[in-house]
Amino acid sequence: MTPRLASAAVLVSVAAAIGAGVALWIVRDRLLTPYKGYASIEQFVDIPAGTATAAIGRRLVEAGVVRDGFTFRAALWWTRRSRALQAGEYRFDRPLAPVEVVDRLARGDVYARRITFPEGLTIAEMARVYEAREFGSAASFAEAARDVSLIRDLDPLATDLEGYLFPDTYALPRGTPAPRLVASMVERFQAAYAGDLRRRAEEQGLTTRQVVTLASLVEKETGRPEERPLVAAVYRNRLKVGMGLQADPTVVYALRKAGRYDGNIRRQDLALDSPYNTYRHAGLPPGPVAAPGQASLGAALMPAPVSYLYFVSRNDGSHVFATTLAEHNRNVRRFQVLYFRR
């Protein structure tokens, strides 16, 4: 090779190297530069299980999360995480560099939707919340709530999970199957009941089922924290002396099970022949009538040290309590009879 040809070859090599370096710099700059191609405040991208890598790229490009297919492929090559991408729903609310997008999918940083179950709901009511939040069908939740194996160690008599699905807010990926959520709710109940509450129940000779049943009545009767120990005391005092509980929430529950509840309790409903009707049957009902929260569980085991046997609503969310029937009748006249006459 002549000196001139050798020089030309060197120049070509140098030019190629420079070109490759420039190209690499351009690619690197694109991979590390944040991008946002959607106009909305947030963008959701759902990656179903089993979606091919190329299809994931198309979804991200169509959603405006990644600039184009080449950029996505380059980001996969750069990060070497093409085999780590995980399915799920992802939320994007700010510009992200393509390598950050790939990293989020590789970590499985899926968006968790929040679902809240307030205290005092039944399984049927929780099922409707589950469906309304678009996690799945109410029927699938109700079916999962029949898995008594989840609570068998605490309540061998349970025929469903009524009372054991702990009311709380849960953060879950959309589409979380009902059995997984139900299992989490039972675990949350077990954590809330473990320790001091379970020890107190054992010391008082109460089964878990009895505690949760009583707590469910407290939960349904009042939403005022200061009244829960008082309501619990009334019911425990009645149980102690052999009085009927005569708890309206048990009648409502019985009517619902019979498909007869329309939002009202009538005099004839108090005669409904159901083991849950505590106007007809003495003692606690067969099981919980709703899901009690931590405070009601505590009140059931730590009732106020009072001798009350009666209470009636003041029609403002609070109640007035009484020890004697004569006192109670006066309260009923004042807060029910005369109040509604006015």
Alpha-carbon gap, residue 253 to 197, rounded angstroms: 26
Q: How many Cβ atoms sit within 10 Å of the Cβ of residue 156? A: 11
Contact (CB, 8 A) for 79 and 103: yes
Q: Please state the pTM of the whole predicted model.
A: 0.79
Query: Residue by residue, what is the 3-state secondary structure of the chain?
Result: CCHHHHHHHHHHHHHHHHHHHHHHHHHHHHHHCCECCCCCCCEEEEECCCCCHHHHHHHHHHCCCCCCHHHHHHHHHHHCCCCCCCCEEEEECCCECHHHHHHHHHHCCCCEEEEECCCCCCHHHHHHHHHHCCCCCHHHHHHHCCCHHHCCCCCCCCCCCCCCCCCCEEEEECCCCHHHHHHHHHHHHHHHHCCHHHHHHHHCCCCHHHHHHHHHHHHHHCCCHHHHHHHHHHHHHHHHHCCCCCCHHHHHHHHHHCCCCCCCCCHHHHHCCCCCCCCCCCCCCCCCCCCCCHHHHHHHHCCCCCCCCEEEECCCCCEEEECCHHHHHHHHHHHHHHHHHC
Domains of the chain, by residue range, sit at: 31-107, 113-193, 205-308
8 A C-beta contact, residue 21 and residue 79 = no
Domain 113-193 has CATH 3.30.70: no
User: 31-107 and 113-193 share one CATH topology?
Assistant: yes
Return per-residue pLDDT of the chain as tens, 342 residues.
Answer: 565 544 444 444 544 444 444 445 566 778 889 999 999 999 999 999 899 999 999 999 999 999 999 999 999 999 998 899 999 899 999 999 999 999 999 999 998 889 999 999 999 999 999 999 989 999 999 999 999 999 999 999 999 999 999 999 999 887 789 999 999 999 999 999 998 999 999 999 999 999 999 999 999 999 899 999 999 999 999 999 999 999 999 999 999 988 888 878 888 888 888 999 999 999 999 999 999 999 999 999 999 999 999 999 998 889 999 999 999 999 999 988 766 666
**Domain 31-107 part of CATH 3.30.1490.480:** yes
Element containing residue 235 per DSSP (H, E): helix 228-241
Residues 304, 234: Cα–Cα separation, whole Å: 9
Q: Are the C-beta atoms of 269 and 251 separated by less than 8 Å?
A: yes
